[in-house]
Homo-oligomer: A and B are copies of this chain.
Amino acid sequence: MRDLSKDRSLLAINSATLKPWTLEQLVEGCARAGITAIAPWRDIVQAAGIEKAGKMIRAAGLSVSCYCRAGLFPAADEAGRRVALDDNRRAVDEAAAIGARSLVMIAGGLPKGSKDLPGAHRQVHDGLASLLPYARENGVPLAIEPLHPMYTADRACVNTLAHANDLCDQLGEGVGLAVDAYHVWWDPDLPRQIARAGKRILTYHVCDWLVPTRDLLLDRGMPGDGVIDLRTIRAMVEATGYNGPIDVEIFSAQNWWKREPNEVLRICLERHQTVV
């Protein structure tokens, strides 16, 4: 296992972790802390302006471990699918403009009023297939991120690494995986599916599963505060040859988002060195 305690370049800070900050604050804060990679969400990049965002990131010497996030393919009709595809193309443009190593893709849930899960699965496959030529042209790898099965209905109907690996098999070059320990830690098939993923892993994310978890979306924990065996999962990921940064992404409306961001950053660094 690579030694995080000696190499800050192995840590990336996801902008969702430091929710109160703008891109400018994130770039300055990370540079100040000696962190060399960030994973911004689209909201703060768009707010800064795409071109300015790219310049700001490059000027600070930061790399972009991944760009969060696009996808959300299933829609009730053709017009809805077209809107999603157009938005995904813009996300590819943005990812290219800021030099992201990959664009994270979440599937999207059931269209409003639908109970047709196999139909939603087909729409995800077809949406990725439609976007892929454009992503390849622009040199932006698509990182399919399976989300926890509690998000199937309203956020993402690809919920296991097995399913995401199947999509990679079907779609070929230019598609890979985003593995987030929070979403996959429970899966008894995890060791096998990470080994199967091999070189497909484009980005690796961590946070922790709290007991109790008080909200399905916004109650994720700082690494070390929950029950996920992060060291073991990281060892599986690194055994595939993954050597990119490890991205701390914490949605936490009632705790971490309320704290002073520099303090959160300091704790992320500390936990990265002790438990991730």
Contacting residues, chain B, for A185 (C-beta < 8 A): 117, 152
Grouping DSSP codes into helix (H, G, I), strand (E, B) and loop, the A interface class, with mixed when no group exceeds half, is loop
Tell me whether A14 is interfacial, beta carbon within 8 Å.
Answer: no
Tell me whether A187 is interfacial, beta carbon within 8 Å.
Answer: yes
Is B212 touching A154 in the complex (CB atoms < 8 A)?
yes
Cross-interface CB contact of A149 among B163, B186, B228, cutoff 8 Å: B186
Contacting residues, chain B, for A213 (C-beta < 8 A): 150, 153, 216
- Given that A150-B213, A211-B153 are contacting pairs, would A115 and B228 also be in contact in the complex, using a CB cutoff of 8 Å? yes
Cross-interface CB contact of A153 among B154, B160, B227, cutoff 8 Å: B227
Tell me whether A102 is interfacial, beta carbon within 8 Å.
Answer: no
- Given that A149-B148, A216-B150 are contacting pairs, would A188 and B160 also be in contact in the complex, using a CB cutoff of 8 Å? yes
Cross-interface CB contact of A115 among B121, B154, B229, cutoff 8 Å: B229
Cross-interface CB contact of A227 among B115, B121, B211, B228, cutoff 8 Å: B115
Is A152 touching B229 in the complex (CB atoms < 8 A)?
no
Task: Give, as a whole number of angstroms, the nearest-CB distance from A102 to chain B.
Answer: 23
Contacting residues, chain B, for A197 (C-beta < 8 A): none
Tell me whether A50 is interfacial, beta carbon within 8 Å.
Answer: no
Tell me whether A78 is interfacial, beta carbon within 8 Å.
Answer: no
- Given that A115-B229, A229-B117 are contacting pairs, would A154 and B186 also be in contact in the complex, using a CB cutoff of 8 Å? no
Tell me whether A7 is interfacial, beta carbon within 8 Å.
Answer: no
**Considering the complex, which residues of chain A in the window 77-111 have a beta carbon less than 8 Å from any beta carbon of chain B?**
110
Is A186 touching B152 in the complex (CB atoms < 8 A)?
yes
| Interface size range of chain A in the complex | 20 to 34
Is A149 touching B211 in the complex (CB atoms < 8 A)?
no
Task: Give, as a whole number of angstroms, the nearest-CB distance from A190 to chain B.
Answer: 9
Tell me whether A73 is interfacial, beta carbon within 8 Å.
Answer: no
Query: In the complex the two chains form, what is the Cα distance from A116 to B185 in whole Å?
Result: 11
Tell me whether A159 is interfacial, beta carbon within 8 Å.
Answer: yes
Query: In the complex the two chains form, what is the Cα distance from A28 to B162 in whole Å?
Result: 48
- Given that A110-B227, A188-B121, A188-B163 are contacting pairs, would A209 and B149 also be in contact in the complex, using a CB cutoff of 8 Å? no
5 tightest A-B contacts by CB? A152-B186, A115-B229, A149-B186, A150-B150, A153-B227
Q: Would you list 23 pairs from A and B whose C-beta atoms are within 8 A, ordered by A residue? A: A114-B227, A115-B227, A115-B228, A117-B186, A121-B188, A148-B149, A149-B149, A150-B150, A150-B213, A150-B216, A152-B186, A153-B186, A153-B211, A153-B213, A153-B227, A154-B211, A154-B212, A157-B186, A159-B186, A159-B188, A162-B189, A212-B216, A213-B216
